[in-house]
Structure formats: structure tokens, C-alpha cells
Chain A
């Protein structure tokens, strides 16, 4: 379970996306990106943390060097690559952190706590629950296809795209319909539609660690605002 609460992660999303609207001096952007990377370390994902620090460093050096590139097509390509993608880097760092550390149950628990209506929470939890089923179904469908000598190789799949689409879609969608029926009865039995408050094994709290990380973020944000003004 993540040591940082989902609330702080919401704050990170707002921060990283707000950053897109402004052009800030490179050192400040670098500091903010490293701040985003630091969350990986706080959560004990040391290797991932270094991984993202390295990428940040490559982009920082790349952007610096790209200014020295010659004025031809390749130079422009390199400049666009580093500057353009580098602009999106903070958002990607935050996204990677959040999708890597947030458990579905944490997210659902937080959304329930924020009184998000049932008609969002129920489809959302079903959605996540359904991904493994799709993967499993797909594997079995492919096996069944190969067994009957249809599209035995990946190349064959691309040679007859319409046929492939139909052969994969129809069983997949058919099964989805069946699963929906099963899942509905199962979850109704377990009281999914009960309007009362839900209990949860997972506790989501805004801790001291959250507060200190947010404070650090606010300081950087303040610095950025000061520069913009």
C-alpha cells in the first residue's frame, strides 16, 4: 500500500498540469521534476526512482545541448524532441508514479469518502475488475482460433483484419454479456446497491508525511508563481 494518500496524488496532478501553462526557467522546472521523482523514493520504490531521475537528467542535458544543434532538419528534430517531450515530462512522471502505486481499492475508498455518486463508483470498480477477465478471454480465444487453423500467426491477423476483428470481438463481447449477468447477481447479493455507509479494509488518511510533501510542493509552486509574476 502506498504511503502517500490519494489526496496528495490529486494535488500532484493539479500541480503538474498547471505547470504546462507556464514557461519557467530550466533550473526551476528541473527542481520540480525531481520533486515529483522523489515520491518514488518516499514510497520505497528506489529503483524506479533512480530510473525516473535518470530520464529527467537525460532531458535536462538534452535540452541544454539541443540549443547548440545546427540549423538544419535534424537539428530541429532534436530540438523539438527534447523541448516538446520535455515539456510533458513532469506530467508523465506524476502519471507513472500514480498508476504504479495506487491500488484500485484505495482509489475506490477515497472516491466513496469524497461522496462521489454510486453511478460513477460502481462502473469504475467493475472496469478495473474486468481487465484480468479480458486478458484471460483473449488468450483462450486465440488458442481456440489456432486450434481451428485460423490466423495461426500474428502476420495472419493483419492480413485479414476484418475477419480477425470479428472472430475476436464476437466471443469477447458475448462473454462480457454473460459476465455482466453473473456479476450483477453476485454484487447485488453482497449489497453493492446498499445506500448506507460502506466499511473498508483500507484506511486512507492524510498523514504527516503527506502534509510535509505537500508543503514542499507548495513552496516550489510559490517559487514558480513568483517567477511568473
Chain B
């Protein structure tokens, strides 16, 4: 982290703010559409939509701050936001872990050059926003407890959730992957087209 200069840190802050706006927008949109149908389940689609929208921001960040730490810090800041804003606090962990992993892939393994690894690192970073999905698990537990109290048998409860747990996870993961790949593609396109790096910019 010590190789980051003040200017890099400021850049990271700015791109994190933009990423954050993308996230808020995506959450709002998906929440608006799916929240009315199934409360809470909108968070299943949020990671994918965030990844779809935030591609250019991520690609530009990796372009402008090609040093280890940038993506980790961005993940950390997003996690911090979850921590203080009334989301489930452990949502913090996936963002930090995914940010770190993506960072390692991007800057240490890929040396910030390889396009394929850049896609892959973005894909991993996209999974950071799956944190808010976790409360569903708690909601499910509360719901199960309430069903038990209502006098339902265990078999009945298992029946209710048999159709939900597996497929929803697959849907969440595949939506995220598709969103991330599309986001990475559009992001790279926009960055290459409009932000071709001018040499000797320190």
C-alpha cells in the first residue's frame, strides 16, 4: 500500500464515489422492479446489475492506478459503506475479500497488462456486492421460526424451501457472471475509445 501516492489515493476515492453511485442506481432500479413482487429478493439481481453498470469505472480505475492496492481500497470503502448504512454488517467481508483477490489477479499476476485477467478480476470484484444477499438467509431463518411457531411440521417447511434455495443461488451467480462480463466488455470499449492513455502521466 505504501507505493500509492497521494494522487493515487485521491483517484481511488473519486472512482469509488462513481462506483458507489452506480451501485446505488442499480440497487434502486432492481429494488423498484423486483422489490414489489418479492421483498428482499431484489438483492439477488443487484450484483449482476451493478457489474453491468459499473464496468467503465472499474476499467478506468485499473487504467489510471495500475498499482497494487487500488482495487482493494475500493472494495474496502464499499464494505465500509455497508457497515454503517443499515445493511447486514458482515456484507463487509465479501467486498474486502473479492477486492483483494481481484487486486492480486490484476496487478500482481497480470501486471496490469493482460486483458483476459482484467476481465477475470472484474468478475471476481463483481461478486463483492453479493454481501447484501446474505440477509436473505436470516430472513429465511426468521420465516422458518415463524412457521414452526405456527405449528407446521419440519417436512412441510423443507418442502417450502426445496424449490427456493438451489435455483435462486444459481440464478444469482449466473446473473452476476453475465452482468460482469458484459460490464467488462462495455467498460473496456468505452475506455479504449475515449480514454486512450496519454503517455508520461505520473
User: Complex Cα distance A80/B195, Å?
Assistant: 48
A127 touches B142 (CB 8 A): no
A84 touches B40 (CB 8 A): yes
**Which chain B residues lie closer than 8 Å to A30 at the CB level?**
none
**Which chain B residues lie closer than 8 Å to A86 at the CB level?**
142
B14 touches A174 (CB 8 A): no
Is B145 interfacial (CB 8 A cutoff)? yes
A35, chain B: closest CB distance, angstroms = 16
Is A216 interfacial (CB 8 A cutoff)? no
Total residues of chain A contacting the partner, CB 8 A: 62
B56 touches A184 (CB 8 A): no
Chain B residue nearest to A80 (CB atoms) is B143
Chain A residue nearest to B141 (CB atoms) is A23
A123 touches B88 (CB 8 A): no
B138 touches A173 (CB 8 A): no
B57 touches A134 (CB 8 A): no
Given A119-B73, A130-B17, A176-B18: A84 touches B7 (CB 8 Å cut-off): no
User: Complex Cα distance A183/B90, Å?
Assistant: 33
Which of B13, B87, B195 is the one whose CB lies under 8 Å from A125? B13
> How large, as a class, is the contact surface on chain B?
35 or more
Per-residue CB contact flags for chain A residues 104-135 toward chain B (1 = under 8 Å, else 0) read 00000000000001111011111111110010
Is A165 interfacial (CB 8 A cutoff)? yes
B139 touches A99 (CB 8 A): no
A23 touches B87 (CB 8 A): no
User: Complex Cα distance A226/B69, Å?
Assistant: 44
Chain B residue nearest to A177 (CB atoms) is B64
B161, chain A: closest CB distance, angstroms = 12
Which of A13, A124, A169, A188 is the one whose CB lies under 8 Å from B6? A188
Given A83-B143, A117-B1: A184 touches B80 (CB 8 Å cut-off): no
Given A20-B138, A117-B1, A130-B17: A84 touches B6 (CB 8 Å cut-off): no
Looking at A43-51, A89-97, A141-149, A202-210, the stretch in contact with chain B turns out to be A89-97
B44, chain A: closest CB distance, angstroms = 14
Is B50 interfacial (CB 8 A cutoff)? no
Is A53 interfacial (CB 8 A cutoff)? no
Is B60 interfacial (CB 8 A cutoff)? yes
User: Complex Cα distance A66/B146, Å?
Assistant: 10
Which residues A55-81 have CB closer than 8 A to chain B?
Answer: 63, 66-67, 79-81
Given A23-B141, A162-B186: A122 touches B10 (CB 8 Å cut-off): yes
Residues of chain A at the chain B interface (Cβ within 8 Å): 9, 13-14, 17, 20-21, 23, 63, 66-67, 79-81, 83-88, 91-96, 98-99, 102, 117-120, 122-131, 134, 162, 165-166, 169-170, 172-174, 176-177, 179-181, 183-184, 187-188, 192-193
Closest 9 CB pairs of A and B: A95-B86, A126-B13, A84-B139, A123-B13, A87-B142, A130-B17, A17-B89, A184-B7, A122-B9
| Subset of 21 A-B contacts with CB under 8 Å | A9-B84, A13-B83, A14-B89, A17-B89, A66-B146, A84-B139, A84-B143, A95-B85, A95-B87, A96-B86, A99-B85, A118-B9, A119-B73, A120-B73, A123-B12, A123-B16, A124-B13, A126-B10, A130-B13, A131-B21, A174-B194
